[in-house]
Amino acid sequence: MKKLPILLAGMTLIGSAQATVYQFDFTAKIQEMVEFSPQTFNGGPVASSNLSGSTVSVGDSLTGHFSYDTATGVFSQFGGGTMYAAPAAQNSLDVSIGGASIGLSGATYSSTNVQVANNAAALGGADSFGIANVSANAYASQMMAVSFFDRSGLALSASTMPGRLDFANFGQSSFYYTYSSSATHAMMGANGALTSVTVTQVPTTPVPEPETYAMLLAGLAALSWKARRR
């Protein structure tokens, strides 16, 4: 029975070498937009905006790509939901309109976070999954987000980072975009519904790293040495 802990240690090392990143493509359509100026206190619904430097309009079709890394560490927890964020994590969200990215150029700050909520009290027992990118440069800050919502609370079984997530289990999906000028603080916001989500890469079982093989062999050698001693 004393051999078991050593063998399990080797097996644990194999598991720890696995990094799982899931990737998806999606399309969406903008349904509503607003603009607001804190300097004049004017604002409201608009059909189009060029505040960000490129024209964004109600009815525009979006194409995007997002990925999430199941090894991302926990950043915070609240209301039955968990937010995952880490600088080195392979989480990403990119969106284009008419082939042109709406991401900020020359961003001095950029962070992509994942939020998972299972039977969240703040959502009335519903489930949700979301991924958001927040970025800023010398001229503006912006946020892009994709979220999925299941009122029944059956889409997820835990608030851990999900593997092989089936978005067909969610009854509602949304895209959000906000842009704010650093000089005037004028803001525009847009939201809409996703029209498709497609899996573009599902990881296969990863090959253990060389260091993992070395540690496993060391464990097996120790087992063999103990057996000879007997």
Torsion angle, CA of 95/172/141/40, rounded to 10 degrees?
A: 120
- Residue with structure tokens 């976070």? 113
Q: What percent of the chain has pLDDT over 70?
A: 79
Q: What is the model's pTM? A: 0.78
Residue 172 confidence (pLDDT): 95
User: Average pLDDT in the 25-47 region?
Assistant: 95
Question: What CA–CA distances, in Å, run from 165 to 140, 159, 197?
Answer: 33, 12, 11
Pairing of β 100-101 and β 74-78:
unpaired
User: Average pLDDT in the 101-108 region?
Assistant: 93
- The DSSP code for 73 is P
Residue 229 confidence (pLDDT): 52
End-to-end CA distance of the chain: 14
Q: pLDDT-based confidence at 39, cuts 50/70/90? A: confident
Residue 218 confidence (pLDDT): 57
Q: Which range scores top for mean pLDDT: 10-19, 135-144, 161-170? A: 135-144
Question: Helix or strand or coil: residue 5?
Answer: helix
Question: Considering the chain, what is the average pLDDT of its residues?
Answer: 84
CB neighbourhood size of 45 (10 A): 9
Torsion angle, CA of 102/48/46/190, rounded to 10 degrees?
A: -20
Question: What CA–CA distances, in Å, run from 51 to 37, 57, 141, 171, 192?
Answer: 11, 11, 12, 32, 18
Compute the distance between CA of residue 180 and CA of residue 113 in angstroms, rounded to an integer.
Answer: 20
Compute the Cα dihedral for 97, 103, 104, 105 and give only its sign: negative
Compute the distance between CA of residue 108 and CA of residue 82 in angstroms, rounded to an integer.
Answer: 26
What tokens appear for 78 in the block? 């609240």
